[in-house]
Amino acid sequence: MSTTDPDLQAMADDEILRALTLSWRDLSRVTPWGDTFDGLTPGGREVQVERNYLWKDLEGGDILVEVVVFAGPSRYDQGARASRTLKRGV
């Protein structure tokens, strides 16, 4: 059984909300797209944040928004994850 670090999960949950501030129309212009950047968790830890915007099923349909927060490349698999689907036209 795996447990998620609460500090990393708090950051992932916050970051998914930020990622969803763009409209479907805005995101559809850049999907598929992703990036990784440095950040600080609520607890003050330095981490990397990966955001991905992917077509969920078909191009031009719903967009899958994914976030992973991890403490460096060697710990990617232990990172906290959050994802949501942005419905077409929303």
Top CATH class, 6-86: alpha beta
**Residues 33, 50: contact at Cβ < 8 Å?**
no
Q: How crowded is residue 31: how many other Cβ atoms within 10 Å of its Cβ? A: 20
- Give residue 1's pLDDT: 33
What global pTM score does this model have?
0.88
- How far is residue 20's CA from residue 5's CA, in Å, rounded to a whole number? 23
Assign 90 a pLDDT band (cuts: 50, 70, 90).
low
Neighbours of 65 (CB within 10 A): 22
pLDDT of residue 89: 75
For the chain, the structural domain boundaries read 6-86
Q: How confident is the model at residue 3 (pLDDT cuts 50, 70, 90)?
A: low
Query: Which pLDDT tens digit goes with each residue over 27-54?
Result: 999 999 999 999 999 999 999 999 999 9
